[in-house]
Structure 1
Amino acid sequence: MVLAACEPAREKGTLRIGSSPTGVPFSFVDPATNDLTGSMIDMAMAVTEAASIPVDTAITPFSALISSLLTHRIDLIAAAMLRTPEREKIVAFSKPLYEYGGGLVVHRDAGPFADLRAVRRLRVGAQVGTRFTDQLTEAGVANVATYESLADVMRDLDHGRLDAGYGDAPVLAYQLRVRPREKLRLAAEFVSPGKEALCLIMRRHDPALARIDAAIERLRPARLAQIRTQWGLT
């Protein structure tokens, strides 16, 4: 495992996968091995193996993933970064691996919260650089605090510094499942603005993208579905 800030020279033909360490269950660092793991890492490894592309990995902050890709410090992003029209202008997205929307975590006795309009007057935490900060702005939520990770959002929400936390629904659900917080709940009544595609991300015009897409098509019916199920993604 290497850090994006001090990566060694890669072997010729090796594709470097960059991913953030804070996106459980999509990508995170296993404390026992200090290696990247998670559903996106497993799917990226399965896809690149099927495409016969050798890889290594680099731990990269979420907010630095696209800039690291564009400056050739990494070659592929495997993280909880949704496909959006704005991002499609500067990077290339593979065929979808998974689709999901936003989730809202609130204090247990608060609500109901049918949609983002219900939190317009509240202080809401979200992860910096994500599609979900854009959705909050589009919904007219003015008091938004941004954090490096959703774990940080959950901490401040649990301590009463926030009224709500908004972000990747599978990440929030996973965190509450593995570490229940008595004061908080994932708002079951909440309806996300919509689902968006989660893909592998590469530089535009990268010739390896066609091989990646072909491998995804071959693996989608069985192997990729199996990986998602193993990580509790339905």
Structure 2
Amino acid sequence: MGCSQAPEKAAETTGEKAAAPAEKAPAKDRIEAIKERGVLVCGVKDAVVPFGYVDEKTNQIIGFDVDVCKYLADELGVKMETKAVTSATRIPMVAQGSIDIAAATMTHKLSRDDVIDFSITYFMDGQKILVAKDGGINSVADLAGKKVGTAKGSTSEKNIKAAQPECTVLSFEGYPQAFLALKQGKVSAVTTDSTILLGLKNSDENPDNWVIAGDYISAEPYGLGLPENESNFRDFVNGALMKMWRSGDYQKIYNKWFGKDTNYYLPLTWQMELWP
């Protein structure tokens, strides 16, 4: 029996409001338009720790992706604004011009590249499953006949169906909603990239109740989503990312969110593509 997919409705998340939209500028270079506007508008997740989430003290969106966007804004000499996106809305928002960049845990896939452009890889991860510690599930093989939660519009939907055809996938508005379903017993596992799962687990009141199980299901190279066919802007973003890596600023930002002293420790084991 094939793996079916049943969408599950959940409340939309909200985040920091952007003061200015990212207007399309067909007659003008986007970099010039951003500088005139004085703002780089970045689409980021607002409920995915530690990439993008709302700081309870300031009510502002913070996280690894936000800091990457802030670096790019500084390189342009402008302010940064954030707009909350989900896995389902991030590509349409880039394509429609409501944001300049999507820094939103987005895997660079050829199918997505038909709609928008991407930067070079700026983060590497892989997909796993999050399960109850004493739930008897130790690998994807154990999910046969089980329900698995993930987020709408994510690569995780297709990847888990390919890895375990005998499961049923429930797609939620976001990963927090999928994790809630796991805690309520509505699904037997949540699947997405391992660092996102780590964020869900360690943000819970009882993190020891949950384990990230099994081998990697897939490799997930993250790229920044960019407007289609705007090569000057793409060249700027790629150049800024490489500068950030060479200067050590990338490693500082990375260690801030994924270093040994954090709850989301992930050793930096890959090398960014660097052009001579």
User: Which TM-score band (shorter chain)?
Assistant: 0.7 to 0.9
In structure 1, the residue matched to 2:31 is: none
CA distance in 1, matches of 2:166, 2:81: 40
Pairs within 5 Å for 1:105-144: 105-111=130-136, 113-114=138-139, 116-139=140-163, 140-144=165-169
**CA distance 1:227–1:89, change in 2 (3 Å):** same
Amino acid at match of 2:149: G
Contact 1:3 1:60 survives alignment (8 Å): no
1:201 aligned to 213, 225, 236, which one? 225
In structure 2, the residue matched to 1:55 is: 80
Contact 2:129 2:191 survives alignment (8 Å): yes
CA distance in 2, matches of 1:93, 1:29: 25
CA distance in 2, matches of 1:59, 1:158: 25
Query: TM-score, normalized by length of structure 2?
Result: 0.75
**CA distance 1:45–1:141, change in 2 (3 Å):** farther
CA distance in 1, matches of 2:170, 2:241: 36
2:34 is the counterpart of 1:19: no
Deviates further, 201-210 or 136-145: 136-145
In structure 2, the residue matched to 1:228 is: 254
In structure 1, the residue matched to 2:114 is: 89
In structure 2, the residue matched to 1:149 is: 174
CA distance in 2, matches of 1:53, 1:7: 14
Amino acid at match of 1:138: A
Task: Report the number of matched residues.
Answer: 230
Contact 1:108 1:185 survives alignment (8 Å): yes
- Give 5+ residue unaligned stretches, structure 1: none
Q: Give SS of 2:192's match.
A: strand
Deviates further, 51-60 or 123-132: 51-60
Contact 2:131 2:137 survives alignment (8 Å): no
Q: Give SS of 1:47's match.
A: helix
Amino acid at match of 2:96: T
CA distance in 2, matches of 1:12, 1:112: 52
Contact 2:193 2:220 survives alignment (8 Å): no
Contact 2:39 2:73 survives alignment (8 Å): no
Deviates further, 31-40 or 9-18: 9-18
Aligned-pair RMSD on alpha carbons? 2.3
What percent of counterpart residues are identical?
Answer: 20
Shift of 1:112: 5.0
CA distance in 1, matches of 2:156, 2:40: 29
Shift of 1:126: 0.6
Contact 2:54 2:62 survives alignment (8 Å): yes
Amino acid at match of 1:62: S
Amino acid at match of 2:245: R
In structure 1, the residue matched to 2:128 is: 103
2:208 is the counterpart of 1:185: no
Amino acid at match of 1:148: E
Amino acid at match of 1:200: L
- Give 5+ residue unaligned stretches, structure 2: 1-15, 24-33, 259-265, 268-276
Query: TM-score, normalized by length of structure 1?
Result: 0.88
In structure 1, the residue matched to 2:17 is: 2
